[in-house]
Each structure stands twice: as structure tokens, then as C-alpha cells.
A and B are shown apart, each in its own frame.
Chain A
Amino acid sequence: MFNSLSERLEGAFKNLKGEAKISDLNIANTVKDIRRALIDADVNYKIAKEFTDKVKDKALGEKVLNAISPGQLMVKIVRDELTELMGGTEANFNSSGNPAVILIAGLQGSGKTTFSGKLANYLKTKKGKAPLLVAADIYRPAAIDQLTVLANQIGVEVYAERDNKDAVAIAQNAINEAKTKNKNVVIIDTAGRLAIDETMMTEVANIKNAVNPTEILFVVDSMTGQDAVNTAKAFNDRLNFSGVVLTKLDGDTRGGAALSIKYTVQKPIKFVSSGEKMETLDVFYPDRMAQRILGMGDIVSLVEKA
């Protein structure tokens, strides 16, 4: 797909040289190819359409200089647009407060518990904080044990109440515990939930209202397909989250869901998670993500060779 995209980007323009301008006529197929590449990268269908329409508007009338081929020009426009879209607002992570309260939420299996451990490790080792991990997942079998194992690996304490079936109360109690134990960051790991599960969405909204978080992070699997838009929107409607965490980026997914989410909720991606070990946490680079989504690495090198 991506090889053929870069080939077609070049091929579509082979008759356009020198002072010629990009026109409606010579751009139609190229725009379609870019759209298809985006959809194959899991960018939402409608967003891919809107995005390529915008790219088309940008490209139309652009003069193709001798120094730059039409193919290169299109690559540049797509990459610039994508990078701008992925970046935007400055991704500050706020861990100030005493304690700062970080609420973690997302779908089942997206990587919340693993990320909670990683974040605690990061704040402890890189920011000199004293974190407390909170096991507010009262549903998943062995959820408390899982968090406890991770916490032991990184030398951080866990707050859990094995017999309490009230996640809101657990979260509240944890904050009191943090105060008495001089912990200045509280990270609340919650159960995975579907956006259409009313009861569960109400529960996490109640946790939010009870603990007044400093940051609310929406954790999403970077392999997610078209549904990323619905899910992100539903979680944002209920929680108005402050940032996104993209997980499992050590895989080979193009990660188009990142673009869809950014486009839909306009919230910054604050961290990326790329492994099962506690150290595999990274800040987010918009340009890298833009290139990954379009397989631009391949395209750019091909165009540069020409």
C-alpha cells in the first residue's frame, strides 16, 4: 500500500513540470490515494476525508518550482498538516499540588494498570516525587495483585481495600492516606469500561467529582480502529480529560487512531507507552507520529532518492 502510494504520488504528476501549478485535474487521484493510506492506517473514515480535502485546498494553485517535484510538494504539505494537527496545544503534564491527583481511565485492556506503574516510576525517578498508586479497579480478577506486583518492581506503595466494593470511597480514602504518609502524587488506576456502559461511566465520573483530579488521562491502545473516535468522544464528554496516553506503540501499527482522537477531542497526547517494562514510557513527538501514520519514512526516502 505504502510503496504504491509513494509511487503513485510521483506517477500522478509525471507530466507536471517547471512552472506548472497543481490543479484540480492532476490532484484528484493523489488525494484519493492519500485518503486510502490514512484509512488503512486506521484514521477514521470521515476524518480522513476532511483531512485530505484540506490538503487539497492547500495544494491547489501551489506553484511547482523546478527545485521541487510535485510529488515532493504533496508529501511536504501532507506531512506539515499532519504534524500540525498532531501537535497543537503544548503538552504540559501537571504534577503539582499536595497531593496531585492523577485519574487513569479507558477501555478494557488498553494498558491502564501498566501505564499507572510506569507513570509512578517516571514521577519518582525523573521528577523526585513520592507517588501512591491506588487500586480502584474492583472488578477485574487479580487487578489489585497486578498493580501490587508492578508497584513492588518500582518500589512504590499501593493503596487498596480488598473488601471495599465502592471505587469512589477507595479513591477518597487513598487521598487521605497520601496526606498522612506524605505522598505528593496519587495515581488512581480504574477498571476498564466501555463508553456505552452507563453504570460504569457514571462510576468513573463520580470518582472524578469526588477527588477533583489534577490530570485525567485517557489511555488508548494505538492499534484501535475506527471506533477510537466514538470512544474518545464518549470518555471526553463524561470526564473532560486533560490528556491522552497512547499504548503499545512498540507494535507495528500505523496508529491512525491517534490522529482521529486528536482531531475529535482536541486534547494533547501526553505520553506514549511502548513496552511491558516499567521504563518504557516516553513523551510524545508529533512529527514522528505524523510520519508513522502515513508511512512517511518510506515515502520521504523514496522521494529524496529521486
Chain B
Amino acid sequence: QKTKSNFFDKITKAVAGKSTVDEEVLDNLEEALMTADVGVDTTIEIIERIEQRVARDKYVGTGELNRILQEEIEAMLVDSTDNAHKDFSVPKKPYIILVVGVNGVGKTTTIGKLAYNYKKAGNNVILGAADTFRAAAVDQLTIWSERVDVPIVKQAMGSDPASVAFDTVQSAVAKDVDVAIIDTAGRLHNKVHLMEELSKIKRVMKKVIPDAPHEVLLVLDGSTGQNALEQAKQFMQATEVTALAITKLDGTAKGGVVLSITNQLKIPVKFIGVGEKMDDLLIFDKHEFVDTLFSLER
């Protein structure tokens, strides 16, 4: 549990008895944001917004400042247009989710957690093991499918991932399931041929269901720094990412780079990973996220 001793307390001390936002407050703000991986440009943008708001609204006191800060930062986090994910209901049937991201961020684990939650909400779920590349990737997803007790579509290691994705979507239709979640191999966004492979996976799925995949979930490791922005841009280009999941936020990393990503690319964050077990998935909450962004202690 993150402690209550947070940045807002620090700010309160820094401005106590003062009538304007002074250098010291802004320095503290800069430090808090940058050490949370918010990055230089976005930090400067936030500070400028605060300065403008304070000038316009006539800054009154520390309580006000805290509220303004929360508001301005929350405004950078785009809301998702639908709320179906919040109760794991399905907007259409079969609902096809394609999960993508760089190596080791937590794609397969997140799929296990999603399957668990969708199933718990009363849906029939099927998994597709389209990571046919990484050592024992199919075995790993198979163990998750057994844990959650949902069927899995798979082929031999080394087979064409697009073919597995195709089979999975077809099987989802044939078996009349509610949700199909497809795993893909981790790939660094600067590897052109691997990114093209993703585009192909997506194209092939459309042969079965023209508007599939309905969700392309980009998984980002919460401890990643500024490179996450480049990841999001490149995956967006290759697959039109529709939502983000941020993992490993049970650690001490804050995942602040998400601010820049959603601000620039307008992709909503839907899920947060907070552990390795199947119930360690949370629905993203703006307010809580901004709050923990500033928590000073572990």
C-alpha cells in the first residue's frame, strides 16, 4: 500500500504562508514528475499549465493548488469511449482482443488475468497462442488456460503466427464464444519485419471477421522509461492500438511516461497489472494513478 505521505503534502509545506507559486514549488513539482518518468517535455507542459491556471484563477491557497494540479494532470489522461472493460462485459460477440508489446512486458500474464476476469463475468473465453517464437511461449499460455480453465487454440512452435490467429478467430465463431484473446511474441518496435508480421496477423483476422480485432491492447512495462513513448508510436502505426495496459505497477516504478503517451496519442489506459497472479489486474483509475504518481514513499 502506497503511503499517504505524498507530493501534495510536500507542496503544502512549500507554499505554506505564500501567496504565489514560487520557484521552490515548481522545482519540487519538476522533481516529482521527472522522477516518476513523466519526461521533460510533458513536465514542462504541466508546469506551464499550472502557471497559467494560477495566473488566471488567482491562486488562493495550497488546497486549491493541489486540486488544480490533480485536474490538469488528469486532463492529460484520455478517457476510453466505452466502459465495457470496466465490468468485463462484451460490446460484440465474438469480441476479439489482440495483445501486443515489446519483449517481457507481461503480455502473456495479462492475457491470463483478462481471461480470468472475463470468465468470472460470465463470458465464454478462448485463447490463441500466436507467440510461436519464444521458447516455451505456448507452454506458458497453456498453463494459464488450465489455471483459468478456458480452451486454447495452438499450433506447433515455429508455425505461422497469423495462421494461429486465423484459427483462433474462426474457432471463436464456430464455438460461439464471447471473447477471444490472442497472444503475440514480444517484439522490439524498431524491428521492421517483426512489426510487419503484426500487421499481417491483423489482416488475416479480418478475413473471418471484417472488423476484427475489436481491441488491440498494447502492454507497457510500468518500469520502462521514455522509450515507452516510441514503443506506443510504432505499435500504433503497425496495428492501430486501441488501449493500453500498464504492468508491474506493484513495484516502485510510477509509470509516468503514460502521461505523455495518452496526451500525445490519445490512447486510453484500460488496465493496470499489479502482480503475477490472476486476480492482480485492476481497472485503470485516473484519479488513483495521479495520486500514486506523487507518492514519495514505497
Report which A residues bind B (CB closer than 8 A): 1, 36, 39-42, 44-46, 107-111, 113, 139-142, 145-150, 153, 194-196, 221, 223-228, 230-231, 248, 250-254, 256-257, 276
Contacts and interface: CB of A to CB of B under 8 A. Distances in A.
6 contacts: A111-B103, A113-B135, A145-B140, A221-B224, A227-B223, A248-B104
A39 B190 CA distance: 22
Contacts of B104: 108-111, 221, 248
Contacts of A250: 188, 190-191
A291 to B, nearest CB: 17
Interface residues of B, number: 44
Contacts of A107: 223, 248, 251
B283 interface: no
Contacts of B223: 107, 221, 224-225, 227-228, 231
B179 interface: no
Interface in B206-230: 221, 223-228, 230
Contacts of B105: 109
B264 interface: no
Interface string B21-47: 000000000010011110111000000
A108 B106 CA distance: 9
Contacts of A40: 39-40, 226
B127 interface: no
Q: Which 8 A-B pairs have the closest CB atoms?
A: A225-B225, A109-B104, A42-B225, A145-B136, A149-B135, A141-B143, A227-B253, A142-B139
Given A248-B103, A248-B188, A251-B189, A223 B225 contact: yes
B225 A226 contact: yes
Contact of A194 (B35, B250, B257): B250
Nearest to B257: A225
A239 B136 CA distance: 29
A2 B248 CA distance: 30
B135 A231 contact: no
A150 B190 CA distance: 24
A173 B36 CA distance: 42
A149 B158 CA distance: 13
Contacts of A226: 34-37, 225, 253-254
Contact of A224 (B34, B224, B298): B224
Nearest to B143: A141
A251 B252 contact: no
A258 to B, nearest CB: 12
Contacts of A256: 225
Given A45-B34, A139-B276, A276-B103, A145 B225 contact: no
A289 to B, nearest CB: 15
A150 B135 contact: yes
A28 B251 CA distance: 36
Interface string B122-140: 0000000000011110011
A231 to B, nearest CB: 7
A276 B134 contact: yes
Nearest to A224: B223
B222 to A, nearest CB: 9
